[in-house]
Amino acid sequence: MNKSESKYFRTAIKMDLALIELLKQKPIEYITVSELCKTAGVNRSTFYLHYEHIGDLLDETTRYMLDGFLSYFSENTQSIALNLSDCELDELNFINDTYLIPYLTYIKENKEIFLTALSSVKILGFEDVYKRMFNNIFNPILDRFNYPVEDRKYVMMYYLNGINAVCLEWMKGDCKKPLEEISEIIKVCILGMNSELLKLIKTY
Same domain, 91 and 21: no
Same domain, 80 and 170: yes
Same domain, 191 and 118: yes
Same domain, 139 and 81: yes
Does the pLDDT value for residue 202 go beyond 70? no
What are 43-96's pLDDT values in tens digits?
999 999 889 999 999 999 999 998 999 899 887 665 656 667 777 777 777 888
Task: Report the number of distinct structural domains present in the chain.
Answer: 2
Same domain, 87 and 59: no
Which range of 25-29, 121-125, 199-203 scores highest in mean pLDDT? It is 25-29
End-to-end CA distance of the chain: 55
Same domain, 58 and 109: no
CB 106 within 8 A of CB 184: no
For residues 72 and 6, which has the higher predicted lDDT (pLDDT)? Answer: 72
Q: Can you give the pTM of this predicted structure?
A: 0.79
Predicted pLDDT at 199: 54
What are 11-26's pLDDT values in tens digits?
999 999 999 999 988 8
Rg (CA), the chain: 20
pLDDT over 70, % of the chain: 87
Same domain, 65 and 83: no
Rounded to 10°, the helix 54-70/3-23 angle is 100
Last residue of a domain, one of 71, 106, 123: 71
Does the pLDDT value for residue 195 go beyond 70? no
Same domain, 48 and 64: yes
Predicted pLDDT at 87: 72
pLDDT mean across residues, the chain? 84
Residue 25 structural domain: 1-71
CB 46 within 8 A of CB 11: yes
Measured at the alpha carbon of residue 90, what is the angle toward residues 106 and 74, in degrees to the nearest 5?
30
Mean pLDDT for 142-151 is 88
Q: Which residues contact 11 (CB under 8 A, 6 or more apart)?
A: 40, 42, 46, 50
Euclidean distance between CA atoms 98 and 190, whole angstroms: 16
| Residue 200: pLDDT band with limits 50, 70, 90 | very low
Same domain, 120 and 198: yes
Predicted pLDDT at 80: 59
Same domain, 148 and 61: no
Last residue of a domain, one of 71, 104, 127: 71
Residue 22 sits in a domain whose CATH number is 1.10.357.10
Same domain, 60 and 161: no
Q: Is the dihedral of CA 53, 59, 63, 65 positive or negative?
A: positive
Count other C-beta atoms under 10 Å from residue 13's C-beta: 14
Does the pLDDT value for residue 108 go beyond 90? yes
Four-CA torsion 172, 173, 175, 178, nearest 10 degrees:
-140
Find, among 85, 204, 77, 80, the residue nearest to 145 by Cα.
Answer: 85
Does the pLDDT value for residue 193 go beyond 70? no
Find, among 128, 125, 129, 159, the residue nearest to 142 by Cα.
Answer: 159
Q: Which residues contact 171 (CB under 8 A, 6 or more apart)?
A: 107, 111, 114, 115
